Amino acid sequence: MPLSSGERRPANAERRELMASARPNGWRNPDPVETYDLLVVGGGPAGLAAAKAAIGRGAKVALIERRLLGGVSLLTGSVPSKSIVRTSRLYADMRNAERFGVEAPSGIEANFAAAMERLRRLQARISKYHSADRLRLAGIDLYFGAARFAGLDSIVVEGATLSFRKALIATGAVGRRPVGIPGLELSGYYTSEDVFDLTECPRRLLMIGGGPLGCELAQAFSRLGAHVVIAQNDAQFLPEEERDAAQLLSESLARDGVEIHLNSTVVAVRTTMTGEKLVDLVSDDNRTTIAVDHIAVGVGRIPNVEGLGLEEAGVACDPTSGIRVDDFLRTTNRKIYAAGDVCLARKFTHAAEASGRLAVANALFDGKTRWSSLTIPWCTYTDPEIAHVGLYVSEARERSIPVKTVTVLMHDTDRAMIDGEEEGFVKIHLREGTDEILGATIVASHAGEMINEITLAIAARIGLSTLATVIHSYPTQASAIKAAADAFAKTLVEPSPVRDICRPEWPTD
Ligand SMILES: Cc1cc2nc3c(=O)[nH]c(=O)nc-3n(C[C@H](O)[C@H](O)[C@H](O)COP(=O)(O)OP(=O)(O)OC[C@H]3O[C@@H](n4cnc5c(N)ncnc54)[C@H](O)[C@@H]3O)c2cc1C
């Protein structure tokens, strides 16, 4: 059930600025050309990257956006969530200022409304980089309206029929709504669609779901002053991540005051006369009831294909995994490609952008790049952050690849000690008997930055022994990667007698 309009985002200068970029008032859709080389449906990261790549190489391009340019990433995803993560991290650091020898003034308080205003300022600012005017100036025909396929090579938008040589579906995904929990719909709950519209920090919040969204928001809201309870119907948070990484995250959430219920399923919600929500949780045979003021839900995302007319276009789609694509991102209609959340298992902004560009190269310019050949890292922006690239050990084992893992604790890294950010580790998985990096997991305060070095190494086929020769500036947390590489390189050195090392012609002093 949607929340009351009183709790929604107020119209303000930032909102107007955002709209001026993302959907200008009085926008007039262009007159269609006879046939577009590329017709892109969806103006999120995948669609924008694709349209820009195609126009940059001389194609005639149209882009159709139903709502606002920027998609989930700008409006309800990466940008707003990382904005409140930043504020909450700063606030947590300030409360710990004494550890660093700083007398924090008493009575530091987070100003939630001001933090949300900052978030909206950031959205307005970032929206300018792909504004409607910029797209028009670049030569892209921009249409606002809901697109629907009218056949194998045409689309209707706002009454106009557009023909295409190639099309790209980049319509993203929407939050999955939990079903079968009596009382939940009636009680009302937030999703990522509206949680960033809050102007007051909830006093008591239940977060249903312990994936990246649930964990990031639970920690951020807890740090900003809410009493947060998180319920996850699995034995660990971030079920896809390695167990020791998830364990460190649990400990960190607990330290931040988050009340953790793992292996717990929400089975019923009752709303009292005062508006309080009583939530029943079941874990094994135990039933617990908790009382909260608000509920937020982050239980996965499903492809956004409603009303697209995929059948008319001959495009096959699975309700859970999304539009069916081959390794070149081609759908079951050879003229139509898909990119981003609507077809990818890993739903990230950078993956959406990369897939948009790859689809354009394959569709229009005889590219033959396989999606599976790309190296895509990802990160959950909790504190510490949890980043991964390449294979997990379990995946390597499934493929019968023998694995050797090199681990360095952040605790043993000078800069992590200096920064007071010692939690975590760098784990690099190698093909046993070689220095080929198969994958890595980094848990560290800035793991999202650190993982890029390993991503580069994997993408450029640089082995771990070469990373050992790369000089890292001191002191940096990324030195933990160099330390892992050094530890590995040491295992390759054959011990030799001292007299062979100190040959007589060498200077002795
Ligand atoms: C809370 C949250 C936090 C996140 N944090 C991160 C993060 O830190 N890092 C990260 O990499 N990723 C993050 N993500 C994921 C990231 O936002 C998405 O992976 C990314 O936005 C996907 O881009 P996309 O272009 O595939 O789809 P979208 O961004 O969903 O864009 C699709 C666009 O298509 C439009 N559309 C849909 N149907 C039609 C139609 N019929 N006609 C015309 N237009 C249509 C929509 O209006 C929308 O603008 C987060 C997501 C959430 C929800």
Taking only the tens place, the pLDDT of each residue in 401-413 is 999 999 999 999 9
Question: What does the buried/exposed string (b/e) look like for 295-325 if buried means 16 or more CB atoms within 10 Å of the residue's CB?
Answer: bbbbbebbbbbeebebeebebebeeeebbeb
Q: What is the pLDDT of residue 62?
A: 98
Residue 425 host element (H or E): strand 425-431
Closest ligand 1 atom to the C-alpha of 381? 8
Q: What is the pLDDT of residue 106?
A: 79
- 3-class DSSP assignment, residue 234: coil
**Percentage of the chain with pLDDT > 70?**
95
Q: What is the pLDDT of residue 2?
A: 38
In Å, how far are 44, 158, 311 from 161, measured between CA atoms? Answer: 22, 9, 17
- Return the closest-CA partner of residue 47 out of 302, 353, 348, 325: 353
Q: In this structure, are strands 160-169 and 336-338 parallel, antiparallel, or unpaired?
A: parallel
Q: How far is the CA of 14 from the centre of ligand 1 (A)?
A: 21
Which region holds residue 180: left if phi is over 0, alpha if psi is between -120 and 50, else beta?
left
Cα pseudo-dihedral 497, 404, 351, 129, rounded to 10 = -40
Ligand 1 proximity of 176 Cβ (cutoff 6 Å):
no
Q: Label residue 453 by pLDDT band (50, 70, 90).
A: very high
Beta bridge pairs of residue 441:
388, 427
Q: Do residues 455 and 389 lie in contact, with contact meaning Cβ atoms separated by under 8 Å? A: yes
Largest CA distance in the chain: 91
- Return the closest-CA partner of residue 252 out of 244, 241, 240: 244
- 3-class DSSP assignment, residue 304: coil
Q: Label residue 499 by pLDDT band (50, 70, 90).
A: low
Q: What is the pLDDT of residue 284?
A: 86
Q: What is the pLDDT of residues 355-370, one digit of tens each?
A: 999 999 999 998 899 9
Alpha-carbon span 145 to 151, nearest angstrom: 18
Q: How far is the CA of 381 from the centre of ligand 1 (A)?
A: 17
Ligand 1 proximity of 65 Cβ (cutoff 6 Å):
yes
Ligand 1 proximity of 46 Cβ (cutoff 6 Å):
yes
Q: What is the pLDDT of residue 1?
A: 40
Residue 500 CB neighbour total at 10 angstroms: 7
pLDDT mean over 329-340: 98
In Å, how far are 164, 250, 327, 329, 336 from 362, measured between CA atoms? Answer: 16, 42, 11, 8, 11
Mean pLDDT, rounded, of the chain = 94
∠ CA(242), CA(245), CA(248), 5° rounding? 150
Residue 5 pLDDT exceeds 50: no
∠ CA(136), CA(142), CA(145), 5° rounding? 150
Closest ligand 1 atom to the C-alpha of 350? 11
Q: What is the pLDDT of residues 457-491, one digit of tens each?
A: 999 999 999 999 999 999 999 999 999 999 999 99
What's the N-to-C CA distance of the chain in angstroms? Answer: 79
Alpha-carbon span 455 to 445, nearest angstrom: 18
Q: What is the pLDDT of residues 196-236, one digit of tens each?
A: 999 999 999 999 999 999 999 999 999 999 999 999 999 99
Question: What does the buried/exposed string (b/e) look like for 8-38 if buried means 16 or more CB atoms within 10 Å of the residue's CB?
Answer: eeeeeebeebbbbbbbbeeeebeebeeebbb
Residue 502 pLDDT exceeds 90: no
∠ CA(130), CA(135), CA(141), 5° rounding? 140
Q: What is the pLDDT of residue 248?
A: 98
Pocket probe for ligand 1: among 19, 78, 216, 305, the residue whose CB has the most ligand atoms within 8 Å is 78
Ligand 1 proximity of 308 Cβ (cutoff 6 Å):
yes
Pocket probe for ligand 1: among 48, 67, 72, the residue whose CB has the most ligand atoms within 8 Å is 72
Q: How far is the CA of 325 from the centre of ligand 1 (A)?
A: 18
Ligand 1 proximity of 359 Cβ (cutoff 6 Å):
no
Q: Label residue 385 by pLDDT band (50, 70, 90).
A: very high
Q: What is the pLDDT of residue 278?
A: 98
Q: Within 13 Å of residue 343, how many CA atoms lie on the same side as its CB?
A: 30
Alpha-carbon span 299 to 208, nearest angstrom: 7
Q: How far is the CA of 188 from the centre of ligand 1 (A)?
A: 23
Q: What is the pLDDT of residues 8-31, one digit of tens each?
A: 455 589 899 999 999 999 999 999
Q: How far is the CA of 24 from the centre of ligand 1 (A)?
A: 20
Residue 508 pLDDT exceeds 90: no
Residue 280 pLDDT exceeds 50: yes
Q: How far is the CA of 172 from the centre of ligand 1 (A)?
A: 5
